[in-house]
Amino acid sequence: MPYKEILSKAVLLGLALAITSVTFADDVAKHYKDNCAVCHNEHRLGGIGPALLPGNLKRLRKKTAVDVISNGRAATQMPAFAEKLSETDIKALVEYIYTPPEEMPVWGLDKISASHIIHNHESELPNKPVFKVDDLLNMFLVVELGDHHVTLLDGDRMEPIHRFKSRFALHGGPKYSSSGRFVYFASRDGWISKYDIYNLKLVAEIRAGINTRNLAVSADGRYVMVANYLPHSLVLLDASDLRPIKLYDVRDSNGNTSRVSAVYTAPPRNSFIAALKDIQEVWEISYDNDPPIGFDGWVHDYRTDSGENVEPEPFPVRKIKVNDYIDDFFFDQEYVSLIGASREGKGQVVDMDIGRVIVTDLELPGMPHLGSGITWEYKGRPVLATPNLKKGDVSVIDMETWKAIKHIETLGPGFFMRSHENTPYAWVDVFFGPNKDAMHVIDKSTLEIVKTLRPVPGKTAAHIEFTRDGKYALLSIWDPDGAVIVYDAATLEEVKRIPMNKPSGKYNVYNKTRYSAGTSH
Ligand code: DHE
């Protein structure tokens, strides 16, 4: 073939390849925009679903990512795309999400501060409710995911008092101030809102992260700690107006950074406790007025390199090495034992007083949903029970021996388990599968299912919260045309239906602020 002909063929081939790769790149971007952006954000920063950036996908192999896109992910809202997209398109999407974006998003203290909004000065808001109820501590907040609203409910009359708009996609439990007057919400995209329940007004808001897990409020009501997936950080805020105080860059001594699984307040310890998803450590951050100094493990800058003593840094961190990554965790009522589980279903117990793992083979098959473990007394011993996101199984574990004493078989994997000190029953939902409309009621003294309710056939029945006295149980019908259904917690008979738009969690002021053993903290 003459040289010129070869050259022109090569040019044509190159051109064709270039066009193909441009089209290919366009296709991937379009597939992403059409199918993924609504949950994962158009810039892959996360929303209802996690951020899809290489840093956030560190623990997910590409092969698994292909499987997740093709078949969906159990226990999340991730649907299956195998029928909609070809195998090649799915593989291209995987390559796309593992490729760093042209500009990595940064969300440091300057950006956080710039997002700060004061809606109303707390000092100008009267400390008196603008509505009348018999018991301010028996109110509930109900998060309605359907149209991103929150309803304030009178827990005595079971009547809505007020309904207000929330940020997009709130997730996790809102946290009350100890008086119950204020509440703090976190949205999946990092917005933290402080709301004055007495005045039915927003106080302040701030965007503490790009993809946030949850928040915790200190037991003394002075601080809010926010746990983020993106960036890999914990952010300490002043609870009075959400001003940022400190940003913790979450990394280990080798410089590896990590997403934060979640953060909780440990009231008797005057500390926040966070578990990490990509580093095998648990962090305890003290907000004590008199922070522990010199105690083994607390990291302080109280001595300079030259040995000169300086004031200890406030909010020191204690880093505890653990045996595995902790995706999910909860505590005993004393906040001494941290019970952690990895996504692969390996459980461990960390003694927070001595700062090390004491049990490595805790029998938690599958994965609990965070904060869903509850405790009660069974035959004179404390037990912990948790549903499972992968299996129709409620594990009941003796908290003295840390051995499973029973696996209660349920009609499918469940998200939430709840009880109350004054009720003999624990309620657990069946969130997934053909029995998603079922709610099991378990007798806490026999560990047997005594009743299975099906309040609205075909519609998901989920998440229970009790009134302050434990006499009524409120259940969510997780549907745009849904409701909160009130049950008599003793007779298990329905008492009332309150229509709501996809109600998810419900939060009783008394039970939450008193850290009831039957609910999440
Ligand atoms: Fe949740 C609590 C993590 C999926 C509804 N969920 C929590 C908490 C964490 C968590 C860290 C505790 C925060 C707190 O209360 O301070 N959730 C996760 C996941 O890792 C998981 C499995 C995957 C994900 O999407 O992040 C997940 N969660 C869901 C859902 O799909 C649910 C059903 C609907 C939604 O809102 O996205 C859901 N999670 C909830 C609710 C709570 C919660 C309603 C608070 C329950 C409570 O009573 O405290």
Q: What is the 3-state secondary structure of 218-260?
A: CCCCCEEEEEEEECCEEEEEECCCCCEEEEEECECCCCCECCE
Q: What is the pLDDT of residue 289?
A: 78
Q: Is the CB of 486 under 6 A from ligand 1?
A: no
User: Rounded to whole angstroms, how far apart are CA atoms 424 and 447?
Assistant: 11
| Total residues found in the chain within this entry | 521
Check pocket membership of 316 for ligand 1, CB cut-off 6 A.
no
Task: Please tell me the distance between residue 370's alpha carbon and the centre of ligand 1 in angstroms.
Answer: 7
411: helix, coil or strand? coil
Task: State the closest ligand 1 atom to the C-alpha of 520, by its place in the atom list counted from 1.
Answer: 49
Nearest to 152 by CA among 429, 456, 498: 498
Contact 399, 347 (CB under 8 A): no
Alpha carbons within 13 angstroms on the beta-carbon side of residue 446 total: 7
Round to whole Å and give the CA distance between 148 and 340.
31
The tokens for 458 are: 């075909």
Q: For the packed helices 87-97 and 62-71, what is the interaxial angle rounded to 10 degrees?
A: 130
> What element of type H or E holds 504?
strand 503-508
CATH architecture designation of domain 3-97: Orthogonal Bundle (1.10)
| Exposure class string for 187-222: b at 16+ Cβ within 10 A, else e | bbbbbbbbbbbbbeebbbbbbbbbbbbbbbbbbeee
The protein residue with its alpha carbon nearest to ligand 1, atom 1, reads: 172
User: Which residues contact residue 184 at a Cβ distance below 8 angstroms, ignoring those fewer than 6 apart?
Assistant: 174, 175, 176, 177, 192, 193, 194, 195, 215, 217, 224, 239
* Closest ligand 1 atom, residue 327 Cα: 20
How far is the centre of ligand 1, averaged over its atoms, from the C-alpha of 169 (Å)?
A: 11
Nearest CA to ligand 1 atom 41: 172
Find out whether 259 and 229 touch, Cβ atoms under 8 Å. Answer: yes
Q: Is 173 in the pocket of ligand 1 (CB under 6 A)?
A: yes
User: Do 244 and 250 contact (CB within 8 A), yes or no?
Assistant: no
Assess whether the C-beta atom of 76 lies below 6 angstroms from ligand 1: yes
> What are the φ/ψ torsions at residue 3 (nearest 5 degrees)?
-55, -45
Ligand 1 atom at minimum distance from 463 CA:
48
Which residue is closest in CA terms to ligand 1's atom 38?
171
Q: Look at ligand 1, atom 4, and give the residue with the nearest C-alpha.
A: 76
Indicate which residue's Cα is closest to atom 9 of ligand 1: 370
Cβ of 166 closer than 6 Å to ligand 1, yes or no, is no
Cα(463)–Cα(138) distance, integer angstroms:
18
- Measured by CA distance, the residue closest to atom 27 of ligand 1 is 76
Closest approach atom of ligand 1 to CA 76: 31
Ligand 1 contact via 369 beta carbon (within 6 Å): yes
CB 463 within 8 A of CB 422: no
- Among residues 170, 175, 210, the alpha carbon closest in space to that of 187 is found at 170
Give the DSSP H or E segment for 113. helix 109-114
Confidence at residue 17, expressed as pLDDT on a 0 to 100 scale: 47
Contacts for 487 with CB less than 8 Å, ≥ 6 apart: 453, 472, 473, 474, 475, 493, 494, 495
Using DSSP's 3-state secondary structure scheme, residue 403 falls into coil
Question: What are the pLDDT tens digits along the chain (521 aa)?
Answer: 555 565 566 555 554 444 445 555 678 999 999 999 999 988 898 877 878 987 678 668 899 999 999 999 876 788 999 999 999 999 999 999 999 888 778 899 999 999 999 999 999 999 999 999 999 999 999 999 999 999 999 999 999 999 999 998 899 999 999 999 999 999 988 999 999 999 999 999 999 999 999 999 999 999 999 999 999 999 999 999 999 999 999 999 999 999 999 999 999 999 999 999 999 999 999 999 776 655 556 655 444 455 555 566 789 999 999 999 998 888 988 999 999 988 776 789 999 999 999 999 888 766 677 667 899 999 999 999 999 888 899 999 999 999 999 999 999 999 999 999 999 999 999 998 999 999 999 999 999 999 999 999 999 999 999 999 999 999 999 999 999 999 999 999 999 999 999 999 999 999 999 988 888 77
- At 302 the pLDDT is 45
CA pair distance 416, 464, nearest whole angstrom? 7
Burial class (CB in 10 A: 0-12, 13-18, 19+), 115: middle
224 lines ligand 1 (CB under 6 A): no
How many Cβ atoms sit within 10 Å of the Cβ of residue 390? 15
Rounded to the nearest angstrom, the distance between the alpha carbon of 215 and the centre of ligand 1 is 12
Q: For atom 40 of ligand 1, which residue has the closest CA?
A: 172
Q: Is 415 in the pocket of ligand 1 (CB under 6 A)?
A: yes
pLDDT, residue 521, reads: 75
Ligand 1 mean position, distance from CA 233 (Å): 19
Which candidate, 195, 196, 226, places its Cα nearest to that of 211?
Answer: 226
Rounded to the nearest whole angstrom, what is the distance from the C-alpha of residue 88 to the centroid of ligand 1?
32
492 alpha carbon – ligand 1 mean position (Å): 26
CA of residue 212 to ligand 1 center, whole Å? 11
Would you say the CB of residue 171 lies under 6 angstroms from ligand 1? yes
Please give the radius of gyration of the chain, using alpha carbons only, rounded to the nearest integer. Answer: 25
Q: Crossing angle of helices 87-97/3-31, nearest 10°?
A: 80
DSSP assignment string, 2-63: -HHHHHHHHHHHHHHHHHHHHHHHHHHHHHIIIIIHHHH-TTS--SSSPP-SGGGGTTS-HH
Residue 520 CB less than 6 A away from ligand 1: yes
Tell me what pLDDT residue 169 has.
86
